[in-house]
Amino acid sequence: MSERVIPIISQPLGNLSLPASSASWQEGAALRDTLQRPLRDLRISVTDRCNFRCSYCMPKEIFDNNYTYLPHSSLLTFEEITRTAKSFVALGVEKIRLTGGEPLLRKNLEILIEQLAQLKTANGQSLDITLTTNGSLLTRKASKLKAAGLQRVTVSLDGLDDAVFKRMNDVDFPVSDVLEGIQAAQEAGLGPIKVNMVVKRGTNEQEILPMARYFKGQGIALRFIEYMDVGATNGWRMDEVMPSADVLKVLQQEMTLTPLTPSQTGETAERWGYVNAQGEHVPEWGEIGFISSVTKAFCKDCNRARLTTEGQLYLCLFATQGYDLKSLVRTEHSEENLTRAIAAIWAQRDDRYSALRSTEVPSSKVSGETVAKRKVEMSYIGG
């Protein structure tokens, strides 16, 4: 096994001690971290398994047939996830995104969605419940997901050319099946739909314009994501990153785009709208988005927490340490105490990896030598 592998089974990379319950936080009060960022968005990974082997996430040479995944007993149950989510909602979370691995591989996921859909914010509003998927199972499951209470989906699609797409997913999965899944999601009312394309220089940048041409006019938000240095298994290199500014230049070769205002605080994507021949913005055509965490950090407004499938809480996509919430969830029967513990964790948060990337390399001492700290894997933490 390669030295750069960080097996999921050995996660977390290093647990931080749970802080003492925050005496300063009171129910209904605004919760902020050390940089005054609120908690609004919770990403929940429901499985560590995926049926794709994308090179930037779960490369086949590492996640092969001999790879050991988490046993079912280690996963949070739907009831435990819902109970934990309820505490997060009490602290200000308004949006929950289900991720994986591939979340639709989790058996009976509709049951979890039904449970989460019953939660309400402090002012009685329903949660924004979304899901990120590779689209492979959407045709089969879109209607059930919508009926259970799912509102929107984000589909990962890294190109329209079958050869390019199959090379990236590395399991010979055809583009046509993903496109059918997107259509099924639209017909089921799971929208507005977002389609995410990770742009890896030297691999799929030739797919930028074909993707934009295809989705223009469909009311879909096509988002281009800079290839990120998440974890250690994808062999990330800066020279394989295509900056969003370069992607925009490619699009502007044949499309007129206009910048749009952020749809909400903490928005990860810089939004652009299509403009018609008369110079008018046409919202019905959809939009273009750029997620630029490598070249343009958005740490200052980050309001997201991430809960892994086995109950580890991470406060940053590039985290090197997390908190073991599962032990607390399974031993702490007081809902108030669980909520206060999470509040204490968020209150001491100071993560801003992307903002420091160019000036600081996280490191630690091992046997007297300075080594780079291992970041949590995207396949473990969810996107």
Residue 102 to residue 132: CA distance in whole angstroms: 8
Provide the pLDDT confidence category of residue 118 given band limits of 50, 70 and 90.
very high
Q: 225: Cβ–Cβ under 8 A, 6 or more apart, which residues?
A: 196, 197, 198, 199, 291
Provide the pLDDT confidence category of residue 17 given band limits of 50, 70 and 90.
low
Q: Are 255 and 212 in contact (CB under 8 A)?
A: yes
Q: 209: Cβ–Cβ under 8 A, 6 or more apart, which residues?
A: 250, 251, 253, 254
Residue 136 to residue 169: CA distance in whole angstroms: 11
The pLDDT tens digits for 37-95 are 999 999 999 999 999 998 778 888 888 888 899 998 999 999 999 999 999 999 999 99
The percent helix, strand, coil of the chain (3-state, each to 5) is 30, 20, 50
Residue whose pair of structure tokens reads 């810089």 in the numeric block: 270
Helix or strand holding residue 207 (H, E): none
Amino acid 378: pLDDT: 61
**What share of the chain has pLDDT > 90, as a percent?**
65
The pLDDT tens digits for 343-354 are 999 999 998 877
Q: Is residue 382's pLDDT more than 90?
A: no
- Cα-flanking dihedrals φ and ψ of residue 61, to 5°? -65, -15
C-alpha of 297 from chain center: 16
Residue whose pair of structure tokens reads 């009831």 in the numeric block: 79
Q: Are strands 152-156 and 128-133 parallel, antiparallel or unpaired?
A: parallel
Superfamily of 8-381 according to CATH: Aldolase class I (3.20.20.70)
Amino acid 5: pLDDT: 36
C-alpha of 137 from chain center: 18
Q: DSSP alpha helices (H): ranges in 294-351? A: 325-331, 335-347
Length of the chain measured in residues: 383
Provide the pLDDT confidence category of residue 299 given band limits of 50, 70 and 90.
confident
